[in-house]
Structure 1
């Protein structure tokens, strides 16, 4: 059974970008926000560190721009960097106006506490203790639920975007997105949603790797759907691995914030020796790609499963007040960070590439916008500067909302959209195929397309991904869809995009390090993949 809905603006994803876009649209606009689980279960709520912006008189746009360009290793778009950072102060003030409870300086009612993270030359990261993303998520969710023009579809998974080209409209006309097919994961009912404008805010793709700091839903859905619809995808080889996730069999994806190193945490070998300074003069405060490779190198050199992060030399009161969430969670796993080092291991954390958008959040297709981690704006380049990601979410979500509000709406009749047709498929009697393929993709991506790469490893991954893609496509064509199948279908597309992008970069730069090409190219270019048109 399938039903049909219609809205002015469809937002696919409910993290910081999606909720900001919804709240930034005019109150007269009918908005539908859909999410894969419940509101608040995406990656935003997991973000610990904070939001980077120019908030202190000793700081400046020029300094923040310079730090971002340096971290981006020569591949940032300078215009996009300046565009984003010039809007950082207003973006943060907007969040404050929404009621986000950022941490204040002791005893102050007006001054906010700013921390410094790796790659930053100043303290410019505003935060809500060590659970900034959760504070932002909860605040914006409350505002969204109060807005009469915003409607929520929880537990709904997007299947694919609906385009005029797919509908067989005149090929001489501009291809346009007019909505999406969606699956209710609880009732397994399909929904056809017509929309004048659609915004992808679906997050990144770090779940393509075996070890990740991301929640289960980070399967690159928006990137895969936009690619299938005909959008360009850029810089997918740059996958940021967070250096310090807690190493414990039951601590699934628990991140130890960059701010711990920013406040004096030290990286140590099993014998207690420090090592970060051997790889970069900035030591523990070097950008994440350098720190992650340093940890990976030492783990492989010593043949150990993990290394350590130690902030126990700070006072217990300091640690408990600055990192209350991390402190409590570590205690649950038997680690007291006020007394002992924490065992850590790198894990896939952030997707720096994605769907190409401009300063208005527009993609290559009319009617389709995007914001947040699923996009490529040019801000991050070959590496993301810590805490620039939430800033990017807010700035580009507001830009997309503004452009939609100022653009004459395209007239369309949602009743003319065909309903989802599953009359030629059957129920699967071998769903084990999904779990096996899911596991295989994540394991070989970790082994062959991880922190350190080689051409041989990438070619192995390419051969395997082609076989898996054929298997998954055949399965998708013959059996009724489920949420797990849709995520697997998107995961294999994203994995292939990462592999193809990595193979095309014949140098080591930022987050992409290959033993075959350890040097930098003199004139680097972004990696742009173009969809093959049928």
Structure 2
């Protein structure tokens, strides 16, 4: 790494020149750096806004899942079977699915070797269980904090290798020249008050972008507050998006942000709503369900049918999500889970439950008492978790909403996780390796596989120094000046960033979340577009310490605009309700007469499952293309042929 400096618009800007910069310190980013070093690539560094922030380190679930090839028992499995499961999720590229299947064991065992406590039996088998959309027993878990364990173990490995970490460094501009990467411009958050230390540039040949999903877009979100994402500046740099319409939403607590899946639902809590001040309490689910047994059975099913799924609205548990959405987003009320009392404030007749719910609770020995008593019996750590976060479920209700949880789309990548910009790779949730549906836990595997593949490719094919610093300065000067101009334009004696952010995030949850109508999406997109056009005139911050929030807001609005435009294009091209998104269709069917017309929809018939929507953002507009998915490769795998090719300098690229 070589250090130099340049001067642009009167600002002294420090420049670090090196081969590869990894952006992000979640599980994907740390693994990328760790792999690069192990593969012999030493001229590398990590850039992160906050080493201890992000989704990997600060999130989890009732039993956070890691999805990998079956490694126990007699049930047959294969790499190709695994790839087919991923491919069947619709809108999935087959070569990426095959890579995620092929490297799943390698990546999983590396984590186990680093110390992630995945359970194994006395014979050494890593036993598994079935997760959603999983035909085998490929899932495993290290408990509620699987991704946190992963991050800690990978961080230790990175630090042992003495890999340079630039902390408190916020990427605000991706620098490109046509379809080629130049580097990055960052805001030095700790030195933002000093104009000559405020901006730092990285002149690099490669970037592995592991910035996470665009969590900041939504007000109702299960992402940790420290996770905001940085997809907008990637779109701004000309990086292609893919499958942006495909998200996963579900019920989660608002504070702390946490999925209320698994036993939180299976113990059958009360669902209550109040006005904004916590008054006028009522059990709103009882207004909808004719039979209490049916209501309780649907609540139970939310435990392992946690994501909102349009296929489960008419006759399944996703009606619960819709009823919560009506209370919060349409009526403007607040919704809580109450574990201290039974629904209807009376003893439950467990014989009235569906056989599935009744049998499960009987086998668990939990057909007694109140929800909190059942939860303490079935999963005491679930109660302890909230107690440690300041919420005592024994005595106080837990506020919830229908929240954004995971983006299945993102930046479009090839089988080496490289984007359409040469030298720019994307790994983890920011990359679009998933489709409409995915087995639970595949995100953790995808982040490890993608970062491994990117590191592998760079170490083999993209070694060497970046451009000369003088050449870099000349090529990047205009883009750097553009970012600095934004920073200079927003200074004022007032600060409105928080207000604009909150309004934009609430609008996105209301119109670009699980429930979508083309009229509302179009209106929201136009509002975001106007905010972007007038950004330098309307956004104000009172001191340089607030610049980090200004650049985050700009990135978030860019993301919102591209995602909303993708939703519009999807509907205009004939797309219907699928996955975790219900699109209002006046010519469709209303699943229940008691619901508002907003919930009239037509279920997607799957015929578009072999098509991928991709988008390029240029000059303030979005251009869309639709293409066929890449099929799962079926190459010649005769050993002697593969071995001969591999011996020729390991040429697998």
Q: TM-score with structure 2 length normalisation?
A: 0.70
Q: Distance in 2 between matches of 1:156 and 1:98?
A: 27
Q: Distance in 1 between matches of 2:402 and 2:490?
A: 39
- Report what 2:101 is aligned to: 85
- Report what 1:41 is aligned to: 53
Residue 144 of structure 1, aligned match among 130, 151, 158: 158
Answer yes or no: is 1:118 the counterpart of 2:132.
yes
Unaligned 5+ runs, structure 1 = 166-174
CA deviations 1:289-310 (Å, max 9, x no partner) are 3278432322256777436497
Answer yes or no: is 1:512 the counterpart of 2:581.
yes
- Report what 2:245 is aligned to: 237
- Report what 2:529 is aligned to: 466
Q: Distance in 2 between matches of 1:89 and 1:470?
A: 47
Query: In the alignment, is the contact (CA less than 8 A) between 1:266 and 1:309 conserved in 2?
Result: no
The 1:283/1:485 distance shift into structure 2, 3 A limit, reads closer
The 1:467/1:374 distance shift into structure 2, 3 A limit, reads same
- DSSP 3-state at the match of 2:584: coil
Larger mean CA deviation between 295-304 and 96-105 belongs to 295-304
CA deviations 1:250-305 (Å, max 9, x no partner) are x242333x45479x55576546755486699x764336132784323222567774
Answer yes or no: is 1:368 the counterpart of 2:424.
yes
Answer yes or no: is 1:209 the counterpart of 2:218.
yes
Unaligned 5+ runs, structure 2 = 1-11, 193-197, 272-282, 287-291, 340-370, 586-600, 621-653
Alignment of 1:316-465 (within 5 A): 316=376, 318-320=378-380, 323=382, 326=385, 328-329=387-388, 332-336=390-394, 344-377=400-433, 380-409=434-463, 411=465, 412-418=467-473, 420-421=480-481, 422=484, 425=488, 428-465=491-528
Q: Distance in 1 between matches of 2:615 and 2:134?
A: 31
Deviation at 1:131, TM superposition (A): 0.8
Higher gyration radius (CA): 2
Q: Distance in 1 between matches of 2:216 and 2:439?
A: 21
- Report what 1:487 is aligned to: 552
CA deviations 1:3-38 (Å, max 9, x no partner) are 11122110111111111110101344221101111x
Answer yes or no: is 1:60 the counterpart of 2:64.
no
- Report what 1:156 is aligned to: 169
Question: CA-atom RMSD, angstroms?
Answer: 3.3
Aligned length: 505
Q: Distance in 2 between matches of 1:308 and 1:383?
A: 27
Query: In the alignment, is the contact (CA less than 8 A) between 1:296 and 1:451 conserved in 2?
Result: no
Q: Distance in 2 between matches of 1:275 and 1:345?
A: 18
Deviation at 1:59, TM superposition (A): 5.8
Answer yes or no: is 1:179 the counterpart of 2:183.
yes
CA deviations 1:307-356 (Å, max 9, x no partner) are 649775757465136x47635446x31104xx999664321111111110
Query: In the alignment, is the contact (CA less than 8 A) between 2:492 and 2:540 conserved in 1?
Result: no
Answer yes or no: is 1:228 the counterpart of 2:236.
yes
Query: In the alignment, is the contact (CA less than 8 A) between 1:246 and 1:342 conserved in 2?
Result: yes
Deviation at 1:225, TM superposition (A): 2.2
Residue 202 of structure 2, aligned match among 187, 193, 208: 193
Residue 31 of structure 1, aligned match among 32, 39, 44: 44
Q: Distance in 1 between matches of 2:227 and 2:437?
A: 19
The 1:63/1:325 distance shift into structure 2, 3 A limit, reads farther
- Report what 1:218 is aligned to: 227
Q: Distance in 1 between matches of 2:303 and 2:444?
A: 22
- DSSP 3-state at the match of 1:527: strand
- DSSP 3-state at the match of 2:618: coil
- DSSP 3-state at the match of 2:404: strand
